[in-house]
């Protein structure tokens, strides 16, 4: 079982700052957004950008931020273009289209770089599920925008995460997630 823990631990990257300028939460599991909001409340950064994919709109509209206009924006947008940024600063939120050129983690980070470029922060904390962060790190090293900034990778806390690293091999869903991450990591390496 030790080898299985090592296989999982390799995927986990964690660099938690005392403070940064921006928290960015990748689309996907809902607990990522809840954890990002908690980090904002704790004062890790003054600004938070949530990435919201088309299947997450309803849940995201009901977050403690209460953003009902997200539903209206979704309804006015073609399904293939339904990916949004919720940008929160000082309790005020702004919604905009993410304008992804391609789907997936790389495309999401590439679109974020374009979105932030006019007033790019010097330090960014990226939040995702623990075993997703090795791939996030790989994407960031391939995008020049991130090479020019301090980038921190923060895993969703184990208490909040639907993926539990402790004895992960006992769950077929966790097996699938780990294997999928390894396949995507190799695929991203070859593709990018």
User: Which CATH number covers residue 13?
Assistant: 3.40.50
C-beta atoms surrounding 180 within 10 Å: 12
Q: How far is CA 105 from the centre of its chain?
A: 8
Question: Would 114 be classed as within a structural domain?
Answer: yes
Q: What is the pLDDT of residue 163?
A: 84
Q: What is the pLDDT of residue 156?
A: 95
Residues of the chain whose pLDDT is less than 50? none
Question: Would 46 be classed as within a structural domain?
Answer: yes
Cα–Cα dist 56/91, whole Å = 21
Question: Would 104 be classed as within a structural domain?
Answer: yes
Question: Would 187 be classed as within a structural domain?
Answer: yes
Q: How far is CA 25 from the centre of its chain?
A: 4
Question: Would 64 be classed as within a structural domain?
Answer: no
Q: What is the pLDDT of residue 3?
A: 77
Q: What is the pLDDT of residue 58?
A: 62
Place of tokens 């990018």: 192
Q: What is the pLDDT of residue 189?
A: 87
Question: Would 108 be classed as within a structural domain?
Answer: yes
Task: Say if residue 27 is exposed, middle or buried (CB neighbours under 10 Å; 0-12, 13-18, 19+).
Answer: buried
Which residues form the domain of 186? 2-50+99-191
Question: Would 89 be classed as within a structural domain?
Answer: no
Structure tokens at 13: 């990257």
Q: What is the pLDDT of residue 66?
A: 64
Place of tokens 């010097």: 122
E strands present in 12-122:
22-25, 47-52, 84-89, 92-97
Question: Would 91 be classed as within a structural domain?
Answer: no
Q: What is the pLDDT of residue 8?
A: 80
**What is the count of structural domains for the chain?**
1
Evaluate whether 148 touches 121 at the Cβ level (below 8 Å). no
């Amino acid at each position: 079982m030790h080898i299985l823990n090592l296989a999982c631990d390799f995927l986990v990257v964690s660099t938690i700052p005392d403070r940064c300028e921006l928290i960015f939460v990748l689309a996907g599991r809902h607990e990522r957004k809840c954890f990002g909001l908690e980090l904002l409340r704790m004062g890790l950064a003054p600004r938070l950008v949530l990435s919201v994919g088309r299947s997450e709109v309803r849940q995201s509209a009901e977050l403690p931020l209460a953003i009902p206009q997200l539903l209206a924006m979704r309804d006015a947008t073609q399904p293939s273009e339904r990916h949004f940024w919720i940008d929160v600063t000082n309790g005020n939120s702004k919604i905009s289209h993410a304008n992804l050129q391609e789907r997936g983690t790389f495309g999401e980070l590439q679109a974020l770089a374009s979105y932030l470029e006019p007033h790019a922060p010097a330090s960014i904390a990226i939040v995702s599920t623990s075993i997703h962060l090795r791939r996030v790190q790989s994407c960031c090293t391939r995008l020049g925008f991130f090479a020019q900034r301090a980038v921190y990778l923060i895993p969703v806390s184990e208490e909040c995460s639907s993926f539990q690293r402790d004895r992960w091999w006992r769950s077929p869903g966790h097996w699938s997630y780990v294997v999928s991450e390894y396949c995507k990591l190799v695929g991203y390496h070859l593709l990018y």
